[in-house]
């Protein structure tokens, strides 16, 4: 059965990254992460809500012991442009002091969100702190951030699907698609 998206279907643009490409890349990322964190005390910090689908698939492929905790930060609201203001709506439940922490993001755009999160989590004294993002849009970067694991580098277009939203819609689309603005 073809998935019914919703009444705004004309805003859903072309497929940028297919389901098959995502599946393949996630297996590679999970293998790399499993090798790099073998014997370590891995806590994955998932940034809600956009990374929920990514982490569900990634977690299933990670072959070493790992813990998962969640944080929620502000998104773009109903806009496709970054506001530059980062707010934490939900903080971690776990203590990350002395742990090997891997932040799992959906997308890094201007870099402001990840820069803020890295600074914030560093104050909690993790043993190590790295970033994994499904998508990287380097063309829009305003803050320099170090990203250890990148799924795909994409052009500076607003994308939806596979967890990513526009005004909370379209997250359940199974591939990454371009969003057509009015």
Beta bridge partners of 48: 72
Query: Which one of 45, 71, 113, 151 is in contact with ligand 5GP (CB under 6 A)?
Result: 113
CA distance 56 to 54: 6
Structure tokens at 139: 């063309």
Q: Which region among 16-24, 37-45, 121-129, 153-161 touches ligand 5GP (by CB under 6 A)?
A: 153-161
Active site residue 165: no
**CB closer to ligand 5GP out of 96 and 160:** 160
By CB under 6 A, residue 159 contacts ligand 5GP: yes
Mark residues 2-41: x for contact with ligand 5GP by CB under 6 A, - for none. ----------------------------------------
Strands (E), the chain: 12-17, 42-48, 67-73, 88-90, 100-108, 128-136, 149-153, 159-160, 176-179
By CB under 6 A, residue 54 contacts ligand 5GP: no
Residue 106: strand, helix, or coil = strand
* Least Å from the CB of residue 6 to ligand 5GP: 15
CB 178 within 8 A of CB 16: yes
Structure tokens at 61: 């492929």
- CA dihedral for 94, 121, 30, 138, sign (positive or negative): positive
CA distance 8 to 95: 42
Query: Which one of 158, 162, 173, 177 is in contact with ligand 5GP (CB under 6 A)?
Result: 158
**CB closer to ligand 5GP out of 76 and 152:** 76
Query: Which one of 21, 110, 120, 128 is in contact with ligand 5GP (CB under 6 A)?
Result: 110
Task: Tell me which residues touch ligand 5GP (CB under 6 A).
Answer: 50, 75-76, 82, 105-114, 158-160, 164-166
Q: Catalogue the active-site residues.
A: 109
């Amino acid at each position: 059965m073809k998935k019914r998206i919703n009444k705004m279907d004309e805003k859903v643009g072309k497929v940028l990254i297919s389901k098959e490409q995502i599946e393949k890349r996630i297996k590679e990322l999970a293998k790399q992460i499993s090798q790099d964190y073998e014997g370590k005390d891995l806590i994955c910090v998932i940034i809600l809500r956009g990374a929920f689908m990514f982490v569900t698939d990634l977690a299933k492929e990670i072959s070493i012991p790992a813990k998962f905790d969640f944080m929620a930060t502000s998104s773009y609201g109903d806009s496709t442009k970054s506001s530059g203001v980062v707010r934490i709506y939900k903080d971690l439940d776990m203590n990350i002091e002395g742990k090997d922490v891997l932040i799992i993001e959906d997308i890094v755009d201007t870099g402001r969100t990840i820069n803020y999160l890295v600074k914030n989590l560093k104050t909690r004294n993790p043993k190590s702190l790295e970033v994994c993002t499904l998508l990287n849009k380097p063309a829009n970067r305003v803050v320099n951030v170090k990203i250890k694991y990148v799924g795909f580098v994409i052009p500076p277009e607003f994308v939806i699907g596979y967890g990513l939203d526009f005004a909370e819609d379209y997250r359940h689309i199974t591939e990454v698609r371009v969003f057509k603005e009015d």
